[in-house]
A and B are shown apart, each in its own frame.
Chain A
């Protein structure tokens, strides 16, 4: 018989060692959202104030100051192979990149969500048709869509926006559809029907409030990925066209001189893309925790 009280013990979980669980505190979540918002707001502000903030004309080529390194006098972040000021080009480039990614993400989120809501609450046939189309489109190589669009429209910003929309709508539709299907099975939908609610009332007044948080979270996360993707498209030469300053363009122009050891013209815009994309990611994650603290945070 053991009657002595044993000291504090942690019981082992079948699959885990003894790493202590730390609950993500509300505070930390809020801090994350705030930080992400600050970063994003910063970039948006800088983009808006580009004409004031940029020390040089982004397209001004000055043969006398090629390949200046970071910290060079007068050129804080150096110059590229044509002697253009990298900082100025980064500031101006943000305008295009942010506008393109935001516009594309917003429109694909709205379109995808509407598609999913309608599919979720129409007959099995219609839903099957919509979702099967979405499934086929879902994983189709985006680059192929972009190339096709580029040959039809000619390379340029519309190609970027449209290929993002074509590729992101199925993603959004699938995520939202899964959520709608989940909600559709809940009894409150049936209850609403028994209480006389019609199709649109159920769709927009009952179900939408329950999936809206998901949509916002997903749409926010999308922006980051789309900034990255649009920069790659522009780098490939079928996105934003010169002489417009654009982060992706800067990367591909920098690529040409990297062999000669000049890494900054390519490195810096890539880092900026990374920071902005991460900020949107963080915002999305943080929003998810704010909207639904009960949902276990295991993903991402």
Chain B
């Protein structure tokens, strides 16, 4: 217990005041020891970010600390006067935020911003010294062309670069504690690992501790020494990382960990003859339909080869290309062409799950919209069940639409906020004559809700009355109501919490079985794609590099880009008992 650097005791935070106040952090107690990396992990709404903000005194306007204490080096932070809080900030605690794109002032050059902070912590430093310190720190965070970056504006740097600058900014005063709030959530997988390595090495260099706020068990597994699991404002358990990951004491932690998709998990399940499911079996789908899919049908790890070859592919792409024109007259920017998809050929078999993976901006969403007829290809043909939708007249394409349906990434924005859920499902049914009357439409909508495990009373609800997972179920139900052959899933789980994601993935597997569907699944999380898909295609800058069976993901001879994506997946240590890690572990064993 002795020598805790940061000591949080029974901290409670509430939104609002009086009887209507909502407690969002509930008597949270933990210590961060010198030199260690302490992670707080939890799903959205668990109160982890607010806990971090409270430490810095940066809570939003309407949040109030109602009780508890926070002390740093034995000095109370909460009762400190405002000027000493200001002193704490920066000099003793540095903070790295989630969104590197907005965390730097867009109107000043990087150098100016770094030097301002340096001047604050070392008022005696000359202009020249400040410049040198700024340059040194940029090198410390792995930026080689420091001179260029110093004179750049934030918008001229990539997200990863900006996060590096943020880390430099937060740690150049050598703070005893560096707080990183979801520092890699907004970044590509490949960059994520670099940033986590950097955070650890920087805090080792300054001799400080790192408090990591994350929703991702991969991050915990990769970077943390000790971890606290939060749920609904409370810490449900905290311990050494390996203990929490391998032998979680709390039921909630167990269910969370089981919900995390892992590379190879599907094949390990198959070896043991277990069903292909994530999380606690059954999920929150209604028991009746869950029974049908459980145990028997969805076990096989491999695709159903038998009936596949008999039928021609559902979708065939030949040399498909798509260019976008950016800028031009009236936009104030130079007109330039930008190739989003270049010369892609592939085919999707009936009944299979085809996965598309690539970094953000690799063209996977564009490709899915071409296949789904939301965009027109510039060249090549897209044959859907014998018809080239790239050249189909508008009216005919519209008639074909019910047969390929989308489930979008952002369930919140893909539902119309002002229209009741039931009407959103039944409107297209009436439009395509799949329901003769409004009443029939409602009945069909209720059936669709039943498919995704929601009661028919939800027909009258508005999207904002539903949870994120429920909204995505509505999105799936709306697509399924039209009885499509192909379901195009554009990162349908990337905005969801891990346990919700598990439920949706399980649901998708069940539905495919029940309704004989074909899926095109777009993803950026390789573990999810591997878990769900039969075959996988890898896109980079609009070019399809290779396609392979999911089981051959780790096989020799994979394209370097695929290997880089695979390497970027943070290794899970849920079953690993040894405490060794890639880093010099700074944390000491528990007393």
Contacts and interface: CB of A to CB of B under 8 A. Distances in A.
Contacts of B71: 1-2
A2 B401 contact: no
Contacts of A5: 9-10, 67-69
Nearest to B463: A188
Nearest to B72: A2
B393 interface: no
Nearest to A10: B64
Interface string B391-429: 000000010011001101110011111110000000110
B65 A11 contact: yes
Interface stretch (A35-43, A172-180, A192-200, A279-287): A192-200
Interface string B362-383: 0000000000111000000000
A2 B7 contact: yes
Nearest to B399: A196
Contact of B419 (A16, A21, A23, A209): A209
A194 B405 contact: yes
Contacts of B61: 13, 16, 21
A260 interface: no
A23 B76 contact: no
Interface string A94-129: 000000000000000000000000000000000010
B414 A23 contact: no
A188 B427 contact: no
A187 B492 CA distance: 13
A21 B402 CA distance: 50
A8 B414 CA distance: 42
B310 to A, nearest CB: 29
Contacts, number: 117
A190 B59 contact: no
Contacts of B415: 188, 191
A11 B57 contact: yes
Contact of B65 (A4, A10, A186): A10
Contacts of B478: 191, 195
Contacts of A2: 7, 9, 69, 71, 74, 76
Given A9-B79, A16-B61, A187-B414, A197 B431 contact: yes
Nearest to B76: A2
A191 B408 CA distance: 8
A59 interface: no
Interface residues of A, number: 36
Nearest to A3: B9
A206 interface: yes
Contacts of B63: 11
Contacts of A12: 57, 82, 85
Interface string B71-112: 100101011001001000000000000000000000000000
Q: Which of A1, A191, A192, A201 has the most CB of B within 10 A?
A: A191
B76 A6 contact: yes
A1 B416 contact: no
Given A11-B64, A187-B413, A209 B58 contact: no
Contacts of B427: 195, 197, 205
Interface in B219-249: none
A132 interface: yes
Interface string A46-59: 00000000000000
Given A13-B59, A196-B401, A196-B431, A188 B414 contact: yes
Nearest to A213: B418
A244 interface: no
A245 to B, nearest CB: 44
B60 interface: yes
Nearest to A211: B418
B16 interface: yes
B482 A210 contact: no
Interface residues of B, number: 56
Given A187-B414, A195-B401, A23 B10 contact: no
A187 B409 contact: yes
Nearest to B10: A5
B79 A6 contact: yes
B85 A13 contact: no
Interface in A7-25: 8-14, 16, 20-21, 23
A11 B431 CA distance: 54
B346 interface: no
A3 B419 CA distance: 52
B444 to A, nearest CB: 14
Given A9-B65, A21-B61, A21-B62, A209 B418 contact: yes
A98 B59 CA distance: 48
Nearest to B432: A196
Contacts of A198: 398
A188 B76 contact: no
A210 B414 CA distance: 13
A8 B67 contact: yes
B255 interface: no
B44 interface: no
Q: Which of B10, B59, B416 has the most CB of A within 10 A?
A: B416
B375 to A, nearest CB: 10
Contact of B7 (A1, A8, A23): A1
B212 interface: no
B416 A192 contact: yes
A197 B406 CA distance: 14
B417 A210 contact: yes
Interface string A132-148: 10000000000000000
B196 interface: no
Contacts of A9: 65, 78-79
Contacts of A8: 64-67
Given A2-B69, A210-B416, A196 B408 contact: no
B330 interface: yes
Given A8-B67, A11-B54, A1 B62 contact: no
Contacts of A13: 58-61
A6 B70 CA distance: 9
Q: Which of A13, A23, A186, A187 has the most CB of B within 10 A?
A: A187
A5 B76 CA distance: 11
Contact of A6 (B69, B85, B475): B69
B586 interface: no
Given A2-B76, A197-B428, 17 more contacts: A1-B1, A1-B7, A2-B71, A2-B74, A5-B68, A8-B66, A11-B57, A11-B64, A23-B16, A187-B410, A187-B413, A188-B417, A190-B408, A190-B414, A191-B408, A196-B401, A196-B431
Interface of B: 1-2, 4, 7, 9-10, 16-17, 54, 57-69, 71, 74, 76, 78-79, 82, 85, 329-330, 372-374, 398, 401-402, 405-406, 408-410, 413-419, 427-428, 431-432, 475, 478, 482
Nearest first, the 3 A-B pairs at minimum CB distance are A187-B414, A209-B418, A195-B428
11 contacts: A1-B74, A5-B68, A6-B76, A8-B64, A21-B61, A128-B329, A187-B408, A187-B413, A195-B428, A195-B482, A209-B419
